Structures are given as C-alpha cells and as structure tokens.
Structure 1
C-alpha cells in the first residue's frame, strides 16, 4: 500500500473539494504506478459529484496523463519514466465476447471505472494512480501531455461513435453543443473529411465554430432556418449536457440518418414514430475500447489535433467546477496536479 494526496468531494450539494490522503494498492505483477501530472475536468465529474449515481466521497478524474514511476514484475509494455495516458476504465474481464472484440468499454461483466463504481475507487484528481498496464496508453510522439488527457474521455467518447458511423468525406455532419466533447467532435470530423456544421441556440459561437474548422453554424432557435434545414444531415452528434428536446434534431436528419446522444444519455427519448419517419436511428455510446483509444491517440498525433484547454493548479478545482457548471470554459479545464506535492497547498 502507498499513500498519495487527492481532492475529494464530501457534499453532493457543493463543488467544494477537500484535500485528503488516499491509499493506493500495492502493485500486482501486471500493474504500473503513475505519477499524475495533468487531469482533465469532465462534465460527468459534476454530475457524479452531485449524486447522479448515488455515490459519496468521490475523488473524481478519469482523463489524465503522467509518468510511470514503478512497474510490476511481469510488466513488459512500459518502463519507469514513460509518459502515459489513462482514461475512463482501468480493467475489464478480458474474457467475454465484448472484450474479445476490443470493446472492453462494453464488458458484459462490467468494466472497472477509473473512479467510483465498485469499491468507490479514487480517481485522477490525485497525485498517483495504480492500474494494470493493459489500460495505460503510451503517449505518441508529438502529442502534448498537458492536452492529451481530455482525449481519453471527451475525445474517445466522440471518436468511437463517429468511426462506427463511418464519418468521412461524404458525411454531412452536425455537432450539437460546442463544449469539451463538441469542440473535439468538430476537429475530428473535419480531419476525417466530413462537412461539419455546429448547432447552437445562439449565433454567439459562430466565430469559434468556423475557427475550429466547421463550415457553418445553424441557430436552433431560428424556426425558419431549422425548417429550411430539414433533412440536411447524415449524422448528428449531440454533446449537450443539459436536458433538451431531441425531436428538432431528428428532423434535421436525412433518410437513414443517425442521432448519437452523448452529453446527457439519461434523457428520455422521443416517440418511435419520429424515428420511423425516415428510418432514422437514435443511438449513444460509452467511451471506447482499447484499439479505438490507441487509434485516436495516434490519429491526433499524426494530424496535430489536441483539445483546447485552460490549465489551472489543482487547488483551484472548485473554481474549475463552478465555471464548468456555468459554461465558462473554452473548452476543457485541465488540472496541474503538481501542487499536491506542496504540503502548504490549501485543504
């Protein structure tokens, strides 16, 4: 057992985090220990801090990068000093049909999540983490470790369904919501050759959308523009974290088009009739398997793609959560965990 420092939520009605000492297990033969340098702040962290899954005393964080500090006796993939990235799951059964096809995220016995879940594991808002080497990823050359962490959640969450849908040069794609997931969906869609449009309630983000590579922005509160855009898209990826109506988005799809809801997958869906009118598909996805995650990291390194991040000292985690809740981030907060080494860091 080793001890490390982290930030823990103790009140579901507050974004206040308390600096605490937490335990990490002794290394198994196939484990690696990671010194966490940078950890992204995900909107799902907010949901879970506030009790979405009924968890308590969470140390959140499931998209982080760092350096290997120790290896188990049978580890062959990594050596001490290697830079790695870790995402939303850190183990699976490895035996079921899903694991056998590289969809460990859909493990039929239940994948082990990076924090919370079975045993209330303590996540990446901390200085050290221990996991099996299979679920740590080398950071490809050219990919900045400061920005790579959000690729392990926001990035893979949009990448896997986009790849499954065959997004490419012939795809007319729309992205609903221009936040942590949405801005990466735009960057990745453009890099895959799709014609990308951003869907937003106002025109305020038009400049940002175009700067990210989108061809246009469609204002969803403009009834005339929405009516004129009926059937305009083959694929819509919905990254909006708040409750909202899906029917207006479905009306934008062409025959056999797909709406993939990622931002708030617990929402109630539309009537089936709305899917039947045009053989439309309503789908979702949950993070990604090991092959897809490795593919994403390499694709981003090869195409110079990284999330746009704002880095804060980890002691400012409450400010990051408060601003995230208010939508005041462009486009992902990343916590610098090095201040946890300082015993004077405020609790």
Structure 2
C-alpha cells in the first residue's frame, strides 16, 4: 500500500512554514494520541503516521530530500526516484549527498580539513565616563589556551613531529553513518577533523599543541567609546592547533553612570539646581566640564525651571575624531525649605507685592485666569 503524502498527512500546503508544520502536528498528535484513544488501533496507526511525517518535514535536509525524491529518499535499498541516480564515473552515494546538501553542510566533504583556528574569546571591562571621554589603557586577565612551551605548539614529543593518517576516518577528517537514503556526516572524534594523528603526542598538551593558561592583556580603549561597544583584538584569542592561527579577543565595554553628567551620543547634559533668588535675579555660576575644567555660565534674570543653556564644544569626544559635542546645562529651580523667621517674613512681603502683578508671573496669572473662565462658563 502506497504511503500517503507527508504534507497531506499533516494537512498542510507544500510551502508551509516551520511554525505551520508545528501547529498542525501538535493539533493532530493531541487528537490521535493513544492515551486519548485507548484500544483504538486506527488512532494508534494514525499517530505513527503523523509522527513519521513531522519527523521528516521539520528537518530542513530531510524535507529537501523528500520534496525532490518523495518517499524513495528514505527507503533502504528502495528504487531510485523518477529519472534515476547516476552512479557512473565513480560517483557514489556520498557524492550525491554532497551535491544535494553541500549548502546545508558548509560545502563539499573534506573541504573543512586542515589546521583548526583557535577559538574566539569574549571578555568585559567597565570604565568610568571620564575614561571613555579621554580614552584609557586597562589590563584584562583572561583564561585562554596558549601554545604549549614543551613542544613549541607542535603537539609532538618528537622534533620531527611524525604524523599518521587517522585510523578512524582514514585521513578524511569525517566519519559517516548511513540511514536509509541519508548519509550522515560528522567530524571525526579521534582526530578532531584533522585527518592526521600525532605518532608521539606531547606529554604536557597530549597532542593538542595548546594548554590552558591565564593571560594578562593590555586593552586600549579609544576616546569617545560608547557604552556597549565591542573592541576586537585580532589574534589575541585562544591559540590554534599545530600550525593554525589564533582566534580573536572581543572585549565588551560598559560605562559606569556618572553622578553629575548624563551622556547622549556626543552631547553631555548637566542638571544644575538654582536657588529661587538666583533664577529670579540672575547669577553667574561655575559648572564642571567632562575634561576637568570649569565653565562659567551666566544665568539671566527670570530663568525658569527646565531652561537649557548650551556650551559649544564642551561635550563628549567623538570616536576617531578631534571634534567634540556640546554640553547642555539644565536648570532646576529649587524651592527653599526650613525657612528662618526673617526669610518667611521677606517672602510674605514679596507675595503681598506680587499679587495681581501679571507681568511678574505671566504663566501663573494666565493659568488661573483660564481657571476662572472655566468655572464662570459652568455657572459656578
């Protein structure tokens, strides 16, 4: 009896997405699960068909084979699909597999052999805002793999570094297991994909050519770096196998919050609280800049809370440039607290003088004028 089409088994279109396949499978599997249908042989058989179909279609490689060859792709010893397979000219099943799935497996077999490059390392450092502004040089200790000194990174106890073909993979660097039409290919566990094994391995590194150590590195952080920046140090990662290049070191930079400045790109913001009298009468104040200098800011009379003053070129450094952003002074007018008797008397006199003076507090007078109109319009 011919098998039902896998897509028809799951009730989905041939271009169904992975999510659509999963939803259809879950719905049908729940409906026909043997625990929900005790003693029902048809439900049990249907449940097996659903699982078989989903097992093939959820896998990109298997699905590609099924779309091309149908059920014949998974039948051990079965007939070839329409058009047949061409085994002439020395081509074998593995070659057909390579042609079909080279894109999935990263190229033709054997193409990945050779010295294995060292792994990349990821590390993190934390600096303050002033260091990010000026740039800094900091030390970083990282656990890594370095070249074995005992064998000079060759992995061999002997100076001639004698090597043999790996007996497990026969020198290909890959081992294969056939499952139906599929030929599953994996990196050889014995030689790690090298295809060669060292005849007399180093007693320190056991043939790896590298050993575990902790290294201290100098990391140069450029001026203008932003929070979350990743700095790449080529060749400072783990050492590679014999004759292979080292990996890279990636350093993630975090910047600690500052207690005075807030950064926004190349600009800096500084919140400056002013006494009520300073904002009303005007004043000159000194504010710090991120470069360690002082900047004098003239506060005009009648300054309101939230007003900003711009200091050009006093902001943050720009990465890989001599330019600098701007600094913005944000005014916060502070209401006095814990008044003395004399201060209270003066403020009461001030309030008596200020009543009815629309020019003195135009925003306040304007708001309460609208409030009066609102209540009058509602008959209150």
Q: Which has the higher contact order (CA 8 A, sep 6+)?
A: 1
TM-score range, shorter chain: under 0.3
Superposition TM-score, scaled by structure 1 size: 0.20
